[in-house]
Amino acid sequence: MAQVMQQLGALSLNPPSEKRMPKVKEDRAAYLVGGKGFFNEKDKLLMPGQATYFDGEPNVDLIPLNKMAYDNMQKFLDKLDALGMKKAKRDNKEYIPMPRQSWSENGVVDDIPMPDSVMGVRKDGPDDTIR
């Protein structure tokens, strides 16, 4: 029965194992893969939760793990903001800049901005998560 429970994954009664952030080098940009996955420069699909070194231009589904990756992500978001503002100006619309995360000196992403509402439903108030 225990073997079946582990196969259920998220539906399992076994508590999830705690994942630790990997130790990364500081001389290359390191990212944690989010979203639906990421194809690296060698066309290998990396699944969400995997970490990788990537020297190219990041995308919004990569989460920076070191300062070099964070700086690359800020350049990428600046590029998206510049293109978005140009398009919005051409269309006479308002542009809302891409959300940014802050970086602390100890190398950890401090906060991830969350929207105030999703599809019109307010997301403030107490956390209903059962722990």
Domain ranges of the chain: 2-111
**pLDDT band (50, 70, 90) for residue 131:** very low
E strands, the chain, in order: 30-33, 38-39, 45-46, 51-53, 62-64, 117-118, 121-122
Percentage above 90 pLDDT, the chain: 30
| Interval 7-13 mean pLDDT | 51
First CA to last CA across the chain, in angstroms? 24
| Interval 115-126 mean pLDDT | 59
Q: How many residues does this entry show for the chain? A: 131
Alpha-carbon span 47 to 63, nearest angstrom: 13
Q: What is the pLDDT of residues 18-62, one digit of tens each?
A: 556 677 888 999 998 888 888 888 888 989 888 899 999 999 889
110 pLDDT higher than 90: no
Look up residue 108 and give its two tokens: 């950890």
Q: Does residue 113 come out as left (phi exceeding 0), alpha (psi in the -120 to 50 range) or beta?
A: beta
pTM over 0.95: no
Q: What is the pLDDT of residues 69-83, one digit of tens each?
A: 999 999 999 999 999
